[in-house]
Amino acid sequence: MHPSNTDPKLDIIFVPARTDTPIGSIVLLHGWGANHDDLGELVPYFNLPEYQFLFPNGLFDHEYSDDGKMWYSFTGAGQLTDLSRTQLATSREVLSEWIQSLPESTGIPLDRTWIAGFSQGGAMTLEIGLDLPVAGLIVMSGYLHPDRPKPQSVAPPVAIVHGTQDDVVPISAAHTSRDKLTAWGVEVQYQEFQMGHSIVPEVLDVIRTFVTK
């Protein structure tokens, strides 16, 4: 699908590298009810000056926030409805096609492109990234969709970071994601910290190491 005038379009914040020759791209996907400005504020703290950053906005307006966006809706119990699944399919298709077009628009190949996401953005990172030939995937306080099929080809390595005190996405979701990905043969780097549903400086250190190793 190629978005037309009636199709959803991605609103992107692009932050160029602080060097003349960037060596990689990092795509960051925000969580449910946030927007692309939310993670964009973290760029200086990643301390990755040779990398360019791209922050797409969720395709759908959040139900309970004037400024919030989402990749798909939840019910109160966090389950997917028919509408949720339709929205998820749309986000999956639009994000996947956009990421595959990045080498042409940025000059950075996919094998030097990382996809990262927080919370629902972490779920979308796994949803699309496991089937793309990117350098790696980073899941912060996220989860694997229960009906997400096994990748058809060799998946990129995955870093999972989660808080043991997370009361939004429980630590058990991280354990489930780790174990299922490992069973699929995916290379998984897993770390948990004494934190809630948040991003602490130690998480940024993990990301920096994962990208630059």
Residue 183 lies in a domain: yes
- Strand, helix or coil at 210? helix
How many other CB atoms are there within 10 angstroms of residue 160's CB atom? 25
What are the residues whose beta carbons fall under 8 Å from the beta carbon of 78, sequence distance 6 or more? none
Q: How many domains does the chain have?
A: 1
Q: What is the pTM of this model?
A: 0.92
Q: What integer pLDDT is reported at residue 39 of this predicted model?
A: 86
Segment 56-97, tens digit of pLDDT:
999 999 888 788 999 999 765 557 788 889 999 999 999 999
Q: What integer pLDDT is reported at residue 76 of this predicted model?
A: 54
Residue 3 lies in a domain: no
CATH code of the domain containing 35: 3.40.50.1820
Residue 73 lies in a domain: yes
Residue 36 lies in a domain: yes
Categorize the per-residue pLDDT at 1 as very low, low, confident or very high, splitting at 50, 70 and 90: very low
